[in-house]
């Protein structure tokens, strides 16, 4: 592998995860793109590097601990090392709060919280052993303000990710590993467009203080900054990219 460092991006086969994977690759990282849709992950990797030297796709269901352990093993074999983990994989549902079923709640929490927590454990242990690592968890404005366009289970899961970020940051800091979160507000992404509806985008954007949806590529740049070796003094933090919808 020709890149200096390797980054794993879960949920990297589409949407915001794809944008993050693309920006990390542009910043010089080798990128392991993990997604429950392995074909989508392969397609993105092929677009980034058809030779497979600096980008490779992996079919992974983050709900399964064994699948995450296998992902780490395969990335180490394919790239020779791993230095960055971006926990982006998520289930997004906009079901009305009082209509959320037990099965739907369990599914959203299993992916968003369980997948992120287990990946932090597995990759965090590896990073701690090697004395260096960067973990960036994708939280959300919804986890800070209770959500607006998204479901209560999604908002709750993202709030849990913010807490988990602090827990892992405290645990891993003495061993050269930083753990941070990024909380995007509404982005100009397929997910947001599908939830809001194309016909409602203009009026929806008018409710954002800056008057426009966010740029997923900028979120990717934010992740790359937190993932960089120079970001050693930033851990346990949450960087907001929400257009002024939540101020603190």
Residues assigned a catalytic role: 154
d(CA 141, CA 119): 22
Q: What beta strand segments (E) does 50-207 contain? A: 55-59, 84-87, 133-138, 177-184
Question: 92-130 burial, b for 16+ CB within 10 Å, e for fewer?
Answer: beebeeeebeeeebeebbbbbbbbbbbbbbbbbebbbee
**In this structure, are residues 35 and 41 in contact, taking their beta carbons and an 8 Å threshold?**
yes
d(CA 233, CA 195): 37
């Amino acid at each position: 592998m020709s890149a200096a460092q390797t980054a794993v991006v879960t949920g990297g086969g589409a949407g915001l995860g794809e944008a993050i994977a693309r920006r990390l690759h542009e910043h010089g990282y080798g990128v392991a793109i993990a997604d429950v849709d392995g074909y989508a992950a392969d397609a993105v990797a092929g677009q980034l590097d058809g030779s497979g030297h600096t980008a490779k796709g992996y079919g992974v269901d983050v709900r399964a601990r064994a699948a995450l352990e296998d992902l780490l093993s395969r990335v180490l074999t394919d790239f020779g090392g791993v230095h960055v983990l971006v926990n982006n994989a998520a289930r997004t549902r906009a079901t009305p709060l009082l209509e959320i079923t037990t099965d739907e709640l369990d599914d959203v929490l299993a992916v968003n919280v369980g997948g992120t927590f287990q990946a932090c454990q597995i990759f965090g242990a590896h990073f701690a052993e090697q004395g260096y690592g960067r973990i960036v968890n994708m939280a959300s404005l919804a986890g800070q303000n209770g959500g607006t366009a998204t479901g209560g289970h999604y908002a709750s899961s993202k709030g849990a990710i913010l807490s988990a970020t602090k827990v892992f940051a405290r645990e891993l800091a003495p061993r050269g590993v930083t753990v941070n979160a990024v909380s995007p507000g509404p982005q100009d992404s397929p997910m947001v467009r599908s939830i809001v509806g194309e016909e409602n985008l203009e009026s929806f954007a008018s409710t954002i203080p800056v008057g426009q949806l966010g740029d997923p590529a900028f979120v990717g740049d934010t992740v790359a900054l937190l993932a960089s070796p120079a970001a050693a003094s930033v851990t346990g933090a949450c960087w907001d990219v929400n257009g002024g919808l939540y101020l603190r």
